[in-house]
């Protein structure tokens, strides 16, 4: 997890422009480098480093003697870099996983490069020999990337939008900053004056398709067919592999644990693998909540079961409300459910950074979208429509859950790893017949639960614990976090402000006082940037006015684990 930043064709003083790069310093607390590009006085790279792999030679932009014309700045982890290195007999100059991008590009061009990377990444690759710039981002946008480009060819790229919004350019007093689409790469021509021109934007991977890199991995061969026992066995193999490959780090590993199904499966599998690897430190798990929180109780059960060194972080409503401003600044969004769920994750990340030396943090993000875990999936009109909705949610993760997961952890210099979004695990799960994946017997994620039923990984009451939204589970059943927020905001936003909301905020007009309050904070930090969020996250197939699971009729507060 790092912060990357680059400019091409800047007509303003670079030493002034580079101050913008400092806006993302939290992403890389270990080191910083700012480097001009030889022969182009108006092009430069900025890099903030969190040293996770190769502490000695991991600074960027990465340049190797063999390809002096290539410059690479990337944020991410390429889990299959060693396999590809050995397969193609590449000679490495460093131990950095990202070096594989230079070798793959030199061998087969950008399309093959992007398709062969098994991991999470956002990269900027400059080829001064062929006068090209390439941008790329992983399938689900687990690692963030933003770009701004003017009509006269000035290009600015950064891990977070806050590193671009204050840049100056003569022809564009207000730079249009946009998220770079996940699963895509872009090819740009580099002109002699340092400006660029976009040539093409290519979608190189769809979540349904088995990734090209599957040809080179060492997962045991999966059994064919859709018999339930076959499917369960294949899912266990792929999930185990998804976690094993993510152990690649020189830093201490920990895990967020809400006591829900997803984070519990990750923590239990991780614990088993770390024991097998004979890791010398105790494995730490982290839970957050208010007193009487169902998440804290469930997480404690899981931690006792797996034997982790468990940390419980308590917070009160005042601390949560006070954090809203910095949370929204970190997130760069005003989406209601994202903001609610981010407060707990932001506070627990702050605790981890301050009180422990765990840096690489695993979590259960992506499972709800992939395995149809949201409670509203019970209302899906058909398995086929549920499948379509699942794929839509995966496609939009970069606007919601993985945005939250990245920004709240990166704000405190932590690196998040999300095994449920493993390319092979996802593509296999999405290849299963639609009726296998829907909720069954009134229980969402039935197939996933069934898969691990006989594994003894988790206590039965955790394995079959009903869905609880993170922003709800951190508080007591009696008083939800969203109700606490709404009670506070009731006194901050009056009816007159709501009556004028459409006039003040014509795009994505907030319909509730809570939405108005978050939007106000967002506009204070990022005026005129509301279009970063295309739409609010809301449940489907029901007439919902609030995204909280606790407002849905299916929610069973009396059966909480």
**pLDDT tens digits, 332-365:** 999 999 999 999 999 999 999 999 999 999 999 9
The CA angle 302-473-315, to the nearest 5 degrees, is 95
Tell whether 298 and 368 lie within a shared domain: yes
Tell whether 232 and 196 lie within a shared domain: no
Task: Write down how long the chain is.
Answer: 561
User: Residue 360: left if φ>0, alpha if ψ -120 to 50, beta else—which one?
Assistant: beta
> What mean pLDDT comes out for the span 417-437?
98
Cα–Cα distance, 391 to 413 (Å, whole number):
31
Domain boundary among 140, 169, 203: 203
Contact predicate 44/36, CB 8 Å: yes
pLDDT band, very low/low/confident/very high, at 561 (cuts 50, 70, 90): very low
**Looking at residue 474, what is its pLDDT?**
67
Identify the CATH number of the domain in which residue 362 sits: 3.40.50.620
Tell whether 270 and 151 lie within a shared domain: no
pLDDT band, very low/low/confident/very high, at 15 (cuts 50, 70, 90): confident
Domain membership of residue 213 (yes or no) is no
Residue 560 has pLDDT above 60, yes or no: no
291/167: higher pLDDT: 167
Question: How many of the other CB atoms lie within 10 Å of CB of 137?
Answer: 27
Domain boundary among 178, 203, 228: 203
**Looking at residue 95, what is its pLDDT?**
87
Write the pLDDT tens digit of every residue in 92-142. 998 899 999 999 999 999 999 999 999 999 999 999 999 999 999 999 999
Residue 467 has pLDDT above 80, yes or no: no
pLDDT band, very low/low/confident/very high, at 542 (cuts 50, 70, 90): confident
Domain membership of residue 211 (yes or no) is no
Strand order in the sheet with 184-190: 62-64, 67-78, 119-127, 132-137, 184-190, 196-203
Binding site annotation covers 288?
yes
72/480: higher pLDDT: 72
pLDDT band, very low/low/confident/very high, at 557 (cuts 50, 70, 90): very low
Tell whether 356 and 392 lie within a shared domain: yes
**What's the number of domains the chain is made of?**
2
Q: Is 450 exposed, middle or buried (0-12, 13-18, 19+ CB in 10 A)?
A: middle
Identify the CATH number of the domain in which residue 150 sits: 3.60.20.10
pLDDT band, very low/low/confident/very high, at 410 (cuts 50, 70, 90): very high
**Looking at residue 544, what is its pLDDT?**
76
Residue 554 has pLDDT above 80, yes or no: no
Rg (CA), the chain: 23
Question: What domain range is 116 assigned to?
Answer: 3-203
Tell whether 199 and 230 lie within a shared domain: no
- Show the tokens assigned to 45: 């790279």
Residue 54 has pLDDT above 80, yes or no: no
> What mean pLDDT comes out for the span 483-492?
92
Tell whether 67 and 91 lie within a shared domain: yes
Among 48-62, 126-140, 373-387, 524-538, whose mean pLDDT is lowest?
48-62
Residue 152 has pLDDT above 50, yes or no: yes
Tell whether 234 and 347 lie within a shared domain: yes
Tell whether 134 and 283 lie within a shared domain: no
Q: Could you tell me what percent of the chain has a pLDDT over 70?
A: 94
- Those residues with Cβ within 8 angstroms of residue 386's Cβ, 6 or more apart along the chain or in another chain: 372, 377, 380, 434, 437, 438
> What mean pLDDT comes out for the span 174-191?
97
**Looking at residue 17, what is its pLDDT?**
86
Look over the chain and give the mean of its residue pLDDT values, rounded to a whole number: 92
**Looking at residue 2, what is its pLDDT?**
87
Binding site annotation covers 352?
no
> pTM of whole model > 0.85?
yes
Binding site annotation covers 256?
yes
Backbone angles phi, psi at 355, to 5 degrees: -110, -5
Q: What is the residue-wise DSSP string for 358-418?
A: EEEEE--TTHHHHTT-SGGGGG-SSHHHHHHHHHHHHHTGGGTHHHHHHHHHHTTT-EEE-
Domain boundary among 177, 203, 229: 203
**Looking at residue 466, what is its pLDDT?**
80
Cα–Cα distance, 283 to 270 (Å, whole number):
9
Domain membership of residue 214 (yes or no) is no
Tell whether 120 and 255 lie within a shared domain: no
Q: Which of 2, 43, 44, 158 is catalytic?
A: 2
Write the pLDDT tens digit of every residue in 438-452. 999 999 999 999 999
Tell whether 122 and 249 lie within a shared domain: no
- Please choose, from the candidates 288, 271, 287, the residue with its C-alpha nearest in 3D space to the C-alpha of residue 279: 271
Domain membership of residue 208 (yes or no) is no
Residue 556 has pLDDT above 50, yes or no: no
**Looking at residue 553, what is its pLDDT?**
57
- Please choose, from the candidates 271, 295, 248, the residue with its C-alpha nearest in 3D space to the C-alpha of residue 481: 295
Domain membership of residue 209 (yes or no) is no
Determine whether 18 is an active site residue: no
**Looking at residue 340, what is its pLDDT?**
95
Q: Is 465 helix (H, G, I), strand (E, B) or coil?
A: coil
Residue 291 has pLDDT above 90, yes or no: no
- Show the tokens assigned to 121: 């990444």
Tell whether 299 and 411 lie within a shared domain: yes
**Looking at residue 558, what is its pLDDT?**
36
Cα–Cα distance, 431 to 211 (Å, whole number):
13
Taking the alpha carbons at both ends of the chain, their separation in whole angstroms is 34
pLDDT band, very low/low/confident/very high, at 14 (cuts 50, 70, 90): confident
Write the pLDDT tens digit of every residue in 193-247. 999 999 999 999 999 999 999 999 888 889 999 999 999 999 999 999 999 999 9
- Show the tokens assigned to 185: 């790469």
Tell whether 39 and 125 lie within a shared domain: yes
């Amino acid at each position: 997890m790092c912060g990357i930043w680059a400019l091409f064709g800047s007509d303003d003083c670079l030493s002034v422009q580079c101050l913008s790069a400092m806006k993302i310093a939290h992403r890389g607390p270990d080191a910083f480098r700012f480097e001009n590009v030889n022969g182009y006085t108006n092009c430069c790279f900025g890099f903030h480093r969190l040293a996770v792999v190769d502490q000695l030679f991991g600074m960027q932009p990465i340049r190797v003697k063999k390809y002096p014309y290539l410059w690479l700045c990337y944020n991410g982890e390429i889990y299959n870099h060693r396999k590809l290195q050995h397969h193609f007999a590449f000679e490495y100059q460093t131990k950095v996983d990202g070096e594989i991008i230079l070798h793959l590009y030199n061998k087969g061009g950008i399309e093959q490069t992007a398709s062969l990377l098994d991991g999470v990444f956002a990269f900027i690759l400059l080829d001064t020999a062929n006068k090209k710039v390439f941008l790329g981002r992983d399938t689900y946008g687990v690692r963030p990337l933003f770009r701004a480009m003017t009509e006269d060819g000035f290009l600015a790229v950064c891990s977070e939008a806050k590193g671009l919004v204050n840049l100056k350019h003569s022809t564009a007093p207000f730079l249009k900053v946009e998220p770079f689409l996940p699963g895509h790469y872009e090819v740009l021509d580099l002109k002699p004056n340092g400006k660029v021109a976009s040539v093409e934007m290519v979608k190189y991977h769809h979540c349904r398709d088995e990734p090209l890199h599957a040809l080179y991995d060492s997962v045991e061969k999966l059994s064919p067919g859709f018999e339930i026992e076959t499917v369960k066995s294949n899912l266990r193999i792929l999930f185990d592999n998804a976690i094993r490959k993510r152990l690649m780090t020189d830093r201490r590993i920990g895990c967020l644990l809400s006591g829900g199904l997803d984070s519990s499966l990750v923590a239990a599998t991780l614990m088993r693998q770390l024991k097998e690897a004979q890791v010398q430190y105790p494995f730490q798990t982290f839970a957050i909540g208010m007193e009487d929180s169902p998440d804290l109780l469930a997480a404690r059960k899981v931690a006792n079961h797996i034997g982790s060194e468990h940390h419980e972080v308590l917070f009160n409503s005042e601390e949560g409300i006070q954090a809203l401003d910095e949370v929204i600044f970190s997130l760069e969004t005003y989406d209601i459910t994202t903001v609610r769920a981010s407060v707990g994750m932001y506070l627990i990340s702050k605790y981890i950074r301050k009180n422990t030396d765990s840096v690489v943090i695993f979590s259960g993000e992506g499972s709800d979208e992939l395995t149809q875990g949201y409670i509203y999936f019970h209302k899906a009109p058909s398995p086929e429509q549920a499948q379509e909705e699942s794929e839509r949610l995966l496609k939009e993760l970069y606007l919601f859950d993985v945005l939250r997961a990245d920004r709240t952890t990166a704000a405190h210099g932590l690196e998040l790893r999300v095994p449920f979004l493993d390319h092979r695990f996802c593509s296999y799960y999405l290849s299963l017949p639609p009726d296998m994946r829907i909720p069954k017997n009134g229980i969402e994620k039935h197939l996933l639960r069934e898969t691990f039923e006989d594994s003894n990984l988790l206590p039965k009451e955790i394995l079959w614990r009903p869905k609880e939204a993170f922003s709800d589970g951190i508080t007591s059943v009696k008083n939800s976090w969203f109700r606490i927020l709404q009670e506070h905001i009731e006194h901050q936003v009056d009816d007159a402000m709501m009556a004028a909301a459409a006039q003040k905020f014509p795009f994505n007009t907030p319909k509730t006082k809570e939405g108005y309050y978050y939007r106000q904070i967002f506009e204070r930090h990022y005026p005129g940037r509301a279009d970063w969020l295309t739409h609010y996250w809301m449940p489907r197939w029901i007439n919902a006015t609030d995204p909280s699971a606790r407002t849905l009729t299916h929610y069973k507060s009396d059966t909480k684990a």
